[in-house]
Structures are given as structure tokens and as C-alpha cells.
Amino acid sequence: MATIANTFLTFSAIGNREDLVDEIYMISPTDTPFQANIGKVKARAVLHEWQPDSLAAAATNAQLEGDDIQNFAAVIPTSRVNNRCQISYKDVIVSGTQDAVSKAGRKKEMVYQLMKRTKELRRDIEFTLCGNQAPVTGNSTTPRQLRPLCGWYATNTARGAGGASGSPTAAATDGTQRALTESLVKSMIQAAWTQGGEPDLIMSGPFNKTVISTFTGNNTRMQDTTDRKLVAAIDIYVSDFGTHKVVANKFSRDRDLHILTTDLWAVANLRPMKTVDLAKTGDAEKGMVIAEYTLEARNEAGSAIVADLTTQ
């Protein structure tokens, strides 16, 4: 078979319309499970402060009839802790011409780009909150940095050799990595519960979520032969100390597993995320999406971390 001479082909045609689908397909993940599961409060200053407290340990308490108290117990004041608000933003500039031309998948370029920046900023905030950056007070040349989730654990920690907790001025020190085991998870759930927490969320990276799904507990896995479906994932873990939702977080470190009492954590927003139009100085539109926020660790003793885990 051969093409007959002088057949007019698309290769030489002028004026054929392009076939560009009027959609844009994006698969980048946007779920932020830590932010979705904890509280949201208002911050009113760059330095956000709050007061954790605890009760005296339970003890035998038998007193004399008609007793007249002579020696009163000392009053222990609350502690006062803080975290600094961090500014995060994403910016964009679009020429007037690009906004004017006909486009596939969006009408206004600026609107589409700001939508993307909003999703990107939400991901950045999740990454920051769940990370292990060192807190920074900041000054006119250095950005403020908040104390993140990994830097707050001090009471209930299971770390690898050489690992150490963070502080108000330093990130946590990573230790020698080792495999996640069910006994590690159970011991840290118990530790947080013993301190008074009610852990309701287990959050890990993707690899260690698959490890959790191999935990056997006291159950035998079952296969439903009617629909040929084998359930091989654990999304709810029931321990002696409660029922715990299990989620994978794409933006938390895979080497850390967090056992959280979620009502003891909150994002404190000094300036909630918003879109800002920037001054026009030429033939282009400028804008940004900005947020100023910090992490409120209301009482870290109610949660726990299993740190320094292998990630493959």
C-alpha cells in the first residue's frame, strides 16, 4: 500500500484547528490530615502563649475527723509556654497579555494561578507543622520559624539510639533508625494515656502506614469470597486504651509516627490564609496568598512519638 501522489495530507495543511482538551488535570496531593484533625484558634500577637497544667498524682488520702488544717499544701503555679507565628506565602505575577489571550482549561490566568498557590501554601503549612525545623525568634533579616510538632514531644518518646527531644531553641535530634513494631506503638499509646491523654489519631508517613497494616493484634484477617475482596489495611486501631484512627500523611516525615490526642493541638492563626492583590507597577497583575500562624501544643504529655523509623 502507498499514498497516491499529490494526496493533500495533514503534514502540509495550513489552518487545521488544534485539538486541545479544555481541562487541566492535576494529581498532586492536597489532603492535609494534621490540620484537618486538630483545632483552629485565633492568635493575637507574634508570640502566642498558653498555660499547660496538671493535677497532683493520685495518693492515699485519709484524714482525721474534726481535723483543723495547720499545714497547707504548696500551690504549684501553671507553666507558661509559647510558640512564634511564622509567615508563609506564595506569589505570582501574570502579564496582561497572558490574561487576555484565549486559553484552554481556564478563563483567567491569575485566578487559576492563585488557586494553585492556595493549594501549594496549604501543603507547605502542613509540611511545616509536621516537620522538625529549629524554632527561630527572627529579626529584620531572619524570618521567624515556629516550633513544629516533632519539636514538642518530651514526655512520651520512643527514639532510636542517639535521638533526643527538641526544645524552644532547637529541633529534635534524629537517632538511629529501626523498624516499626506493634509493641512500640502500644507502649506509646499506653504512655500517653497514663499521662491523661486520650489518643485518638495515629499519623504516619506512607511507608509506615503499610507497616501498621501488617499488625495482627488479636485478629485474624478475613477474605470476603462473595466479592473477592481482601481487606489488607488498618484504618482503625483498637488498643486497651481506646480507638485510634490511623492516617497516612504525605507531608509528615516517614521516620516519625505520631500518636495524638487531637484536642490538645491547634493551629493558631494570627492572619488566616488569604489572597492579596499587590500594587500594579506595569503591564502585569501581581498577587500572593499569605498566612501567619503557629502551632499550639496545649499539653504535649497527652501525645507521643515513635521516632527514628526505617522508611523502606
175-207: pLDDT as tens digits = 999 999 999 999 999 999 999 999 999 999 999
Of 9-18, 76-85, 100-109, the least confident: 9-18
Indicate if the pLDDT at residue 1 is higher than 80. Answer: no
Please give the pLDDT value at position 220: 47
pLDDT digits (tens, 9 = 90+) for 124-182: 999 999 999 999 999 999 999 999 999 999 999 999 999 999 999 999 999 999 999 99
Q: Does domain 33-51+79-306 have CATH number 1.10.540?
A: no
Can you spell out the DSSP letters for 172-227? PBP---B---HHHHHHHHHHHHHTT----EEEE-HHHHHHHTT--TT----EETTT
Distance separating alpha carbons of residues 109 and 116, to the nearest angstrom: 11
Question: Torsions phi, psi of 124, nearest 5?
Answer: -60, -40
Query: Which band of pLDDT confidence, cut at 50, 70 and 90, is reported for residue 17?
Result: confident
